[in-house]
Amino acid sequence: MAEDEIPPVLDSLDTYSAGPPQYEFTPAQERLIGDLGRKMRFVGSFLLVTGLLALVSTFVLIDRPKEPGDTPLRATALFFAICAIVIGLRTRRAGRGFTQIAATERKDITHLMEALAEQRSLFRWLYVLLILIIAAMVLMLMLGLVFSPEDLAVRVGGRRFQIR
């Protein structure tokens, strides 16, 4: 064998990626996964923009003269703005991982695991958020049972409304 010839065993080696060969999805599977990723990125972008607009409007509310009862409204708007931004960012990241499966070769499992890790992170965050919301609702229910309806009132636009 001449020096410039590659031995047959080395010629068949995959030097493109380190590690064991990875599973490749079929073209139909890649289209399905890519479509999922694009839709996730769109939803994430929508939530991100919505959250940013809500955040801006919250700061507009903060600059406005305060009326009695505005503080809970402002706090709630800020809370939901931050939630929408975080959910939007995480959804976009997971969607990017799914679109990379369809866009690349020989890295399908790596990209799938990265996308699933982002998805898990998103749902872990949502899980904690929902537990906190449920705890707040239970606390509000308990406070409602302790205080009489006459003690609970809401002010909207300077007018006082009793909760009955």
Please write the tens of the pLDDT for every residue from 47-67: 999 999 999 988 876 666 667
pTM of the complete model: 0.69
8-13-15 Cα angle (round to 5) = 135
Query: Is the CA virtual torsion 116, 29, 43, 89 positive or negative?
Result: positive
Structure tokens at 115: 């996308």
Name every residue whose Cβ is closer than 8 Å to that of residue 49 and which is 6 or more positions away in sequence. Answer: 88
120 pLDDT higher than 90: yes
pLDDT one-digit tens code per residue, 128-155: 999 999 998 898 888 776 665 555 566 6
Domains of the chain, by residue range, sit at 25-135
pLDDT one-digit tens code per residue, 1-39: 555 565 554 444 444 455 667 788 999 999 999 999 999
Half-sphere exposure of 67 (CA within 13 A, CB side): 11
Q: Residue 47: which of 10, 78, 2, 80 has the closest Cα?
A: 80
